[in-house]
C-alpha cells in the first residue's frame, strides 16, 4: 500500500497539503513540504482549523496530502486522490479507501492498534511516512518532537512514549535534540523565571502557584533580585542558582504533600538554538509556531520549522505577543460566561466573543485550571459562519472509560454536523441552532444504560 501511496505523490502534477492549525499540524505540514521539495513536486499548503464539507471534494488534477486531520472524515470524502497521515480516530479502519470515487491511502497508528492520542502524533506519523518516501528526512526529525509536545504527548508520563519516543531518539542521535531531566514547568526558554515559577502547573504546587511573594523569596535565596527574576529565563540562569531554586521547590512540594518525582521529567531542547533563544526549549518553540498559526499566519510557523530565522523570527515573535493578548482577552470573556451545566457536562458558549481558532486552547485551559470534578466534560463553543464550532476536553482518568471522539462524532452526526478527534480531546461542527439538541444527545449517550 505504501508503494501505491508513494507513486501517487511522485507522479503528481501538484500536491495540495492540507494540515491542522495546531503546532502538530504545522510541524506535519513542514515535514510534508520538506519531503515534496526533495522529490521536486510542486505543492501548496492549506492550514485548516476544521475540515468543512467543501474540503472533502477532490479537484481534478490535484493529489491531496492530509496531515494531522482527515481520518475522522474519510468516509465523507468524494473524488479525492491522495494520502492521509493522521493520528485522530479513523472513521474507516482501512489503509486503502476506494469508495465514492476516492483513491486514498491512510496511515494512522489506530490501524495498528496504537492509540495515536498518546504515543504517536500527527507529525510522527507524517515523519514515518516521509522516511519511506525519501531516506534523508532525518534533518527534520526534530519536527516529530515538536508535534508530539504540541499535542501534550509528554504530559502523562512526563516524557514521550511509544513511537513518538522512537523518533525522538532518532532526532537525538541526529544531533538535533538534547534530552534532559529537569523541572517540567512551562516556559524554560520563553518566560522570565519569576513567571515560570509563578504559573508552573505541571504539577500545580498550591503554596507556589500564583504566589509571587513565595516566588521572589525563592529567587532571593538563589541571589536573584526581583528585577532580574522578571527578565532572565530559566535557561539563562547558571547551574548553581537553578540547583538552589530546585531545592526550594522540592521543600514546598513536600510541605504540600506533592511527590518530589512528579515535579521532574524529560524536557527537550533544540541543540541548534542558543541557550538564550526563546526557541531553545521544544515546548516553547511549539508555542511560538502555534501562536503564529492561530493568528492566521501558519506559513511563518512552517518557515520557522524549516530553519528560517531573521525576519521570520521577528514576525513570529510579534504574532506570539498578539496571541498572548488574544488569550488574555479570552480569559476576561470567560469570567463573564456561566457554563450551562447538565450532569457532568459543562458547556461554555462564547458565540461571537471568541475567535473560533482558539476554542480548543480555552477548553484545555478550563479543564486544567478551573476546579471542575474529575469526570467533567468541558465543551467550549463559538460561532463559525453558519456553524457552531465546539471543542471538548476530558481528564485522562475519564478518558480511560470514555472515548470523547466517539461521543462528539456520534452526537454531532445526530444533529446534522460532524466531529471526531482523540479520546481525551475532540471537536465538532454543528449547524447553528442545534446547540440544545446536541447537548441533549451527549447527555443521553452518557446516561444510556443498556
**In the complex, which residues of this chain contact Mn ion (CB under 5 A)?**
24, 68, 122, 151
Instruction: Report the residue number, 122 or 417, with the smaller CB distance to Mn ion.
Output: 122
Taking alpha carbons only, the member of 93, 426, 136, 161 closest to residue 107 is 93
Residues 6+ positions from 104 with CB-CB distance below 8 Å: 74, 77, 80, 81, 82, 83, 84, 96, 97, 98
Instruction: Report the residue number, 100 or 364, with the smaller CB distance to Mn ion.
Output: 364
- We find the least distance from the C-beta atom of residue 351 to Mn ion, in angstroms, to be 27
- We find the least distance from the C-beta atom of residue 122 to Mn ion, in angstroms, to be 4
Taking alpha carbons only, the member of 330, 298, 306 closest to residue 68 is 298
Instruction: Report the residue number, 24 or 281, with the smaller CB distance to Mn ion.
Output: 24
Whole-number Å distance between alpha carbons of 171 and 178: 9
- Does 203 sit behind a cis peptide bond, omega within 30 degrees of 0 on the bond before it? yes
- We find the least distance from the C-beta atom of residue 125 to Mn ion, in angstroms, to be 9
Grid coordinates 458547556 are at which residue? 347
Instruction: Report the residue number, 24 or 403, with the smaller CB distance to Mn ion.
Output: 24
Crossing angle for the helix pair 23-38 and 122-133, to the nearest 10 degrees = 10
416's grid cell: 446534522
Instruction: Report the residue number, 67 or 356, with the smaller CB distance to Mn ion.
Output: 67
**What DSSP line would sit under 40-106, residue for residue?**
T--EEEEEESS--GGGGBPPTT-EEEEES-SGGGGGG-BS-EEEEE--SPPSS--SEE-STT-EEEE
SS3 content of the chain, % helix, strand, coil (to 5): 45, 20, 35
- We find the least distance from the C-beta atom of residue 151 to Mn ion, in angstroms, to be 4
8's grid cell: 501517487
For CA atoms 121, 126, 129, 130, the dihedral sign is: negative
Instruction: Report the residue number, 24 or 164, with the smaller CB distance to Mn ion.
Output: 24
- We find the least distance from the C-beta atom of residue 120 to Mn ion, in angstroms, to be 9
Instruction: Report the residue number, 151 or 164, with the smaller CB distance to Mn ion.
Output: 151
Q: Report which residue's Cβ sits closest to Mn ion.
A: 24
Instruction: Give the DSSP letter of residue 233.
Output: B
- We find the least distance from the C-beta atom of residue 152 to Mn ion, in angstroms, to be 10
Instruction: Report the residue number, 89 or 233, with the smaller CB distance to Mn ion.
Output: 89
Instruction: Give the DSSP letter of residue 281.
Output: B
Residues 6+ positions from 35 with CB-CB distance below 8 Å: 130, 133, 134, 137
Grid coordinates 443498556 are at which residue? 450
Instruction: Report the residue number, 151 or 273, with the smaller CB distance to Mn ion.
Output: 151
Whole-number Å distance between alpha carbons of 57 and 46: 15
Instruction: Report the residue number, 67 or 277, with the smaller CB distance to Mn ion.
Output: 67
**Kindly report the CA angle at 221 between 218 and 225, in degrees rounded to 5?**
85
Whole-number Å distance between alpha carbons of 82 and 29: 15
- We find the least distance from the C-beta atom of residue 147 to Mn ion, in angstroms, to be 6
- We find the least distance from the C-beta atom of residue 187 to Mn ion, in angstroms, to be 22
- We find the least distance from the C-beta atom of residue 106 to Mn ion, in angstroms, to be 15
Residues 6+ positions from 302 with CB-CB distance below 8 Å: 26, 29, 30, 33, 45, 289
- We find the least distance from the C-beta atom of residue 166 to Mn ion, in angstroms, to be 17
Are 26 and 298 within 8 A, CB to CB?
yes
- We find the least distance from the C-beta atom of residue 23 to Mn ion, in angstroms, to be 9
Instruction: Report the residue number, 123 or 215, with the smaller CB distance to Mn ion.
Output: 123
Amino acid at each position: 500500500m505504501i508503494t501505491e501511496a508513494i507513486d501517487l505523490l511522485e507522479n503528481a502534477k501538484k500536491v495540495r497539503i492540507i494540515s491542522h492549525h495546531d503546532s502538530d499540524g504545522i510541524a506535519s505540514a513542514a515535514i510534508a513540504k520538506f519531503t515534496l521539495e526533495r522529490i521536486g513536486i510542486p505543492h501548496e499548503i492549506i492550514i485548516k482549523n476544521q475540515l468543512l464539507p467543501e474540503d472533502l471534494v477532490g479537484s481534478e488534477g490535484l493529489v491531496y496530502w492530509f496531515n494531522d486531520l482527515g481520518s475522522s472524515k474519510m468516509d465523507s470524502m468524494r473524488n479525492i486522490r491522495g494520502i492521509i497521515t493522521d493520528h485522530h480516530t479513523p472513521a474507516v479502519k482501512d489503509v486503502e479507501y476506494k469508495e465514492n470515487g476516492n483513491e486514498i491511502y491512510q496511515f494512522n497508528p489506530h490501524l495498528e492498534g496504537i492509540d495515536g492520542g498518546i504515543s504517536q502524533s500527527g507529525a510522527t506519523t507524517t515523519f514515518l511516512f516521509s522516511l519511506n518516501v525519501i531516506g534523508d528526512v532525518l534533518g527534520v526529525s526534530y519536527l516529530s518532537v515538536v508535534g508530539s509536545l504540541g499535542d501534550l504527548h509528554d504530559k502523562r508520563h512526563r516524557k514521550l512514549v511509544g513511537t513518538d519516543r522512537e523518533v525522538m531518539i532518532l532526532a537525538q542521535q541526529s544531533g538535533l535534540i538534547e534530552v534532559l531531566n529537569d523541572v517540567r514547568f512551562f516556559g524554560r526558554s520563553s518566560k522570565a523565571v519569576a513567571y515560570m515559577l509563578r504559573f508552573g502547573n505541571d504539577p500545580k504546587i498550591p503554596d507556589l502557584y500564583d504566589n509571587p511573594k513565595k516566588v521572589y523569596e525563592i529567587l532571593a535565596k538563589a541571589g536573584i533580585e526581583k528585577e532580574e527574576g522578571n527578565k532572565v529565563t530559566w535557561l539563562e540562569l547558571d547551574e548553581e542558582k537553578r540547583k538552589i531554586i530546585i531545592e526550594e521547590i522540592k521543600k514546598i512540594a513536600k510541605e504540600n504533600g506533592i511527590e518530589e518525582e512528579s515535579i521532574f521529567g524529560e524536557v527537550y531542547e533544540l541543540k541548534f538554538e542558543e541557550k538564550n533563544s526563546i526557541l531553545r526549549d521544544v515546548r516553547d518553540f511549539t508555542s511560538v509556531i502555534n501562536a503564529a498559526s492561530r493568528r492566521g499566519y501558519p506559513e511563518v510557523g512552517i518557515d520557522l520549522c524549516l530553519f528560517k530565522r531573521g525576519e521570520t523570527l521577528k514576525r513570529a515573535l510579534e504574532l506570539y505577543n498578539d496571541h498572548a493578548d488574544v488569550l488574555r482577552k479570552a480569559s476576561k470573556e470567560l469570567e463573564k460566561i456561566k457554563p450551562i451545566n447538565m450532569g457532568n457536562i459543562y458547556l461554555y458558549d462564547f458565540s461571537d466573543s471568541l475567535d473560533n481558532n482558539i476554542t480548543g486552547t480555552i477548553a484545555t485551559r478550563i479543564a486544567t485550571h478551573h476546579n471542575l470534578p474529575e469526570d467533567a466534560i468541558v465543551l467550549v463553543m463559538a460561532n463559525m459562519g453558519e456553524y457552531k464550532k465546539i471543542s471538548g476536553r476530558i481528564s485522562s482518568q475519564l478518558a480511560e472509560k470514555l472515548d470523547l471522539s466517539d461521543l462528539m462524532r456520534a452526537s454531532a452526526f445526530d444533529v446534522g454536523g460532524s466531529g471526531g478527534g482523540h479520546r481525551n480531546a475532540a471537536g465538532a461542527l454543528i449547524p447553528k441552532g442545534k446547540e440544545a439538541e446536541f447537548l441533549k444527545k451527549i447527555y443521553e449517550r452518557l446516561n444510556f444504560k443498556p
